[in-house]
Amino acid sequence: MIEKTSLTELSVRSLLKKKYGIEVNNVKKIDKGSANIFLINNKYILKEFQSIYTKEEIKKEVAIINCLKMNNLPVPNYIKTISGKYYFVHNKRIVILQE
């Protein structure tokens, strides 16, 4: 069972502005998958991973996706934060943004 999200629409708006410089016009929660997923501005996917996932596992996933992308396979585009990371931590959970 997926852990309940710690994110609210207000916190999503605030975090995306602070971490990515993105103005959020709309947020829609999507109840599918093994992460808490939000559709942002009908363009981005924000994923809040379950607490069992480590930074190392997320870094490995990003590296694999980027390798597949370099080989011209259709994969999601991970967006870097303003500080240049592919993820950030919010309430002890790893969060990523994909396009």
Q: Domain locations in the chain?
A: 9-98
The predicted model scores a pTM of: 0.88
What's the topology of domain 9-98? Phosphorylase Kinase; domain 1 (3.30.200)
- Strand-pairing partners, residue 27, are 40
* pLDDT score recorded for residue 34: 79
* pLDDT score recorded for residue 81: 97
CA distance 40 to 89: 18
pLDDT digits (tens, 9 = 90+) for 30-67: 988 778 999 999 999 999 999 999 999 989 988 999 89
* pLDDT score recorded for residue 24: 96
Q: Which of 63, 51, 29 is nearest to 95 (CA)?
A: 51
Predicted confidence band of residue 22 (pLDDT cuts 50, 70, 90): very high
CA distance 51 to 21: 25
CA distance 54 to 50: 9
CA distance 92 to 49: 10
